[in-house]
Amino acid sequence: MNAHTLLAAQESGAAARQQQELVQFIERFTEQDGAQVTAIPGLTLFRTAQPSEPLHCLYEPALGLVVQGRKKVLLGEETYYYGPSQFLVVSVDLPVIGQVIDASPDVPFLSLRLDLDPKEISALLMELPAPAPSPQACPRCLSVSGLGDSLQDAVLRLLRLLDTPEDIPVLAPLVRREILYRLLRGEQCAQLRQIASSGTQGHRIGRAVNWLRQNFHQPLQIERLASEVNMSTSALHHHFKAMTAMSPLQFQKQLRLQEARRLMLVEALDAASAGGRVGYESPSQFSREYSRLFGAPPLRDIARLRQSA
């Protein structure tokens, strides 16, 4: 074995040990299934001992890392899979369907989420050299990549702080900054730069997403939305779909239907009231679009959710 091969084997062994340590940390700090908010701001751990049903939810800007098991995420008509040694980055709020597809009581699904703050990214970008121009003007706002050794090491050091909570206020921000740096030096550079750099098309689409989140219950007027973000209607359509895999109207529809489902499930509203609350004037149209997205009419879907809870 030559020196190069020996070094590669040692690095591979070190990465495997770090991966196992990540598993051990999340197992230790998640004693039962579900999400566990940690003492580190923005860091949440997840554990489940069985595959899940498809879950309609809103992903906010974050780094998601699976350390054991596998997960599937649907964005529009696109499907993303990720598992150990892979991570997902979301750079704007996106309505998606997430599903744990590989988990068991003996080998539970384990993952973590670290929230990303565009303001932190913008501040760090000021200290980094501008990259070469990319032919892909508006990359997807969701991507899956392989986990490199440097990023894995930084994430592990962040988790280790859970054992020394007195160190978290001082050291956690430093490690978070390193994690952002690793992301900006990797495949996600263009994706994150777009939403954190003022004046770019991606930044304008990020503003359009925020506007839709705040006003999804109102009738969608594309001309007004385009004016809000200083874009032409054709540019808005083109770049919005390029980044989110959906048109603005499809995006709004998913936001509406997810909120209506929450209102019926959590606040016990009836279907007509929930549909009206999120902006539907026609109960029959609401029922049709709800059934198309969730696979069953509102009453039947909510009854099934309550029975399985």
Encode pLDDT of 105-121 as tens digits: 999 999 999 999 988 99
- The pLDDT-based confidence of 309 (bands split at 50, 70, 90) is low
**213-259 tens-digit pLDDT:** 999 999 999 999 999 999 999 999 999 999 999 999 999 999 999 99
User: 184 and 154 in contact (C-beta within 8 Å)?
Assistant: no
Lowest-pLDDT range, 15-19, 25-29, 45-49? Answer: 15-19
Please state, rounded to an integer, the average pLDDT across all residues of the chain: 90
- Those residues whose C-beta lies under 8 Å from the C-beta of residue 294, and which sit 6 or more positions away, are 56, 257, 261, 301
User: What is the Cα–Cα distance from 229 to 208, expressed in whole angstroms?
Assistant: 6
Lowest-pLDDT range, 3-7, 32-36, 57-61? Answer: 3-7
pLDDT of residue 68: 96
Write down the pTM of the prediction: 0.88
**Residue 208 phi, psi dihedral angles, 5° rounding:** -65, -40
- In the chain the domains, ranked by start, together with CATH numbers, are 3-193 (2.60.120), 195-246 (1.10.10), 251-308 (1.10.10.60)
pLDDT of residue 7: 43
Mean pLDDT highest for which of 76-80, 187-191, 193-197?
A: 76-80
**132-171 tens-digit pLDDT:** 555 555 688 999 999 989 999 999 999 999 999 999 999 9
pLDDT of residue 31: 84
Q: Which amino acid is at 28?
A: R
Reading the block at residue 111, the tokens are: 């993952």
pLDDT of residue 237: 94
Residue 279 has pLDDT above 80, yes or no: yes
Average pLDDT over residues 13-41: 92
Share of the chain above pLDDT 90, in %: 76
Q: 62, 77, 56, 79: which is closest to 247 by C-alpha?
A: 77
Looking at residue 49, the DSSP 8-state letter turns out to be S
**167-178 tens-digit pLDDT:** 999 999 999 999
- The pLDDT-based confidence of 15 (bands split at 50, 70, 90) is confident
Residue 4 has pLDDT above 60, yes or no: no
- The pLDDT-based confidence of 200 (bands split at 50, 70, 90) is confident
Q: Which amino acid is at 262?
A: R
3-state secondary structure the chain: CCHHHHHHHHHHHHHHHHHHHHHHHHHHHCCCCEEEECCCCCEEEEEECCCCCCEEEEECCEEEEEEECEEEEEECCEEEEECCCEEEEECCCEEEEEEEEECCCCCCEEEEEEECCHHHHHHHHCCCCCCCCCCCCCCCCEEEEECCHHHHHHHHHHHHHHHCHHHHHHHHHHHHHHHHHHHHCCCCHHHHHHHHCCCCHHHHHHHHHHHHHHHCCCCCCHHHHHHHCCCCHHHHHHHHHHHHCCCHHHHHHHHHHHHHHHHHHHCCCCHHHHHHHCCCCCHHHHHHHHHHHHCCCHHHHHHHHHHHC
Residue 3 has pLDDT above 70, yes or no: no
Which residues on neighbouring strands pair with residue 82, listed in sequence order?
71
pLDDT of residue 131: 64
User: 144 and 87 in contact (C-beta within 8 Å)?
Assistant: yes
pLDDT of residue 129: 78
pLDDT of residue 74: 95
pLDDT of residue 102: 97
Lowest-pLDDT range, 23-32, 79-88, 181-190? Answer: 181-190
